[in-house]
Amino acid sequence: MNRLLLNKIVLGLSVVSALIGLGFLAWILLTLFIKGVSSLHFSLFLNDLVNGGLRNLIIGQLELALLASVVGIPLGMAAGIYIQEYGRGKYANFIRDLSDIMMSAPSIVIGAFVYAIAVKPFGGANGYAGVLALSIMMIPIIINTTDNMLALVPKELREAGIALGASKYKVILDIVIKAAKVGIMTGILLSFARIVGETAPLLFTSETSSYFNMNLSEAMPSLTVSIYNLANEPEQSSRDLAWAASFILTVIVLMINLTGRFITRNKK
């Protein structure tokens, strides 16, 4: 009887911890929703930060993340292809381990690194540095998904391609990648959702700006960095703006994340 009681208690505690986890998610999302919607205005999307809007910040943040994807996705995929398709042996495994470690490297350290090589020598914050920092964050994530998804493609598909006389890179690009397309797409969307919400790597690389700017040689407006600045200002209006920005950011991040998950789910 004692055993059964203990069992009930422990299982109950386990359910409680799941509820705690869900509770925090609900609490954060509700807070964001209530605070965000009450400070959200349509005019926020038409004005720049200097006029009390968020337009330049949203565009700047998306521009940085998109350009980082343009750099990071091909490099990450090529590296993942090497690890899974070409590299057989110690070096490929070594790179795989390093990439896993890099995935958990502190983002602020990446920011400091980029500051030292791409901001200080050029005399000030610039968008290129921000793009560089974000793509360094993105590459190991893309490598990881490409590697895992290519590993799921059956060996027979590759053999069939080779037997038809196709060269190895043709087999990889036309058969293997196509077979793993959905999984890789999910990985790309998830990693995009991750870097679009990053703050620390941008803090002293591309910083932020109150004005509309799409020119990468200057400081770039950033939603996340501006949230950090606005939230620490004493005026209530700044904080309201920070809440509206946080709400928009979370909606963007969660939408992309969920889209990524749903395309794999439909495939199954």
Partner 1 sequence: MEKIFQKLSLGSASLVLIILLGVFFTLFNAAKPSIDKFGTKFLVDARWNKEVAIDGIKSITTQQQTIEEDEITDEDDDIIDEDDEEIIDEDDTDELDMKNTQTVFGGLVPIVGTLLSTFIALIFALPIAMGIAVFLSEIAPKKLAVPVGIAIELLAAIPSIIFGMWGLYYFAPIVADTFGGYQVSLLTAGLVLAVMILPFMAAITRDSMNTTPDVLKESAYALGATKFEVVKDIIFPYSKTGIIGSIILALGRAMGETMAVAFLIGAIYTIPDKITDPTISIPVAMAVNFGEASGLGESSLFYLGLILFVISFGVISFAKFYFLKKAR
> For residues 80-109, which are near partner 1 according to CB under 8 A?
81-83, 85-87, 92, 94-95, 97-102, 104-109
In whole angstroms, the minimum distance from the beta carbon of 160 to partner 1 comes to: 18
Whichever of 27 and 46 has its CB closer to partner 1, that residue is: 27
Residues 6+ apart with CB under 8 A from 37: 247
Expressed in angstroms, the distance from the first to the final Cα of the chain is: 44
53: left (phi over 0), alpha (psi -120 to 50) or beta: beta
Other beta carbons less than 10 A from residue 221's beta carbon: 30
200 binds partner 1 (CB under 8 A): yes
240 binds partner 1 (CB under 8 A): no
79 binds partner 1 (CB under 8 A): yes
Q: What's 134-185 look like in SS3?
A: HHHHHHHHHHHHHHHHHHHCCHHHHHHHHHCCCCHHHHHHHHHHHHCHHHHH
Q: How many residues bind partner 1 (CB under 8 A)?
A: 85
33 binds partner 1 (CB under 8 A): no
In whole angstroms, the minimum distance from the beta carbon of 223 to partner 1 comes to: 9
Q: Kindly tell me which residue out of 58, 67, 110, 244 binds partner 1, with binding defined by CB under 8 A.
A: 110
Whichever of 31 and 43 has its CB closer to partner 1, that residue is: 31
Whichever of 59 and 114 has its CB closer to partner 1, that residue is: 114
Residues 6+ apart with CB under 8 A from 260: 185, 186, 187, 188, 189, 190, 193
**C-alpha to C-alpha distance for 261 and 72, rounded to whole angstroms:** 21
Positions in 125-164 near partner 1 (CB under 8 A): 136, 139-140, 143
**C-alpha to C-alpha distance for 127 and 208, rounded to whole angstroms:** 9
Whichever of 112 and 263 has its CB closer to partner 1, that residue is: 112
In whole angstroms, the minimum distance from the beta carbon of 246 to partner 1 comes to: 5
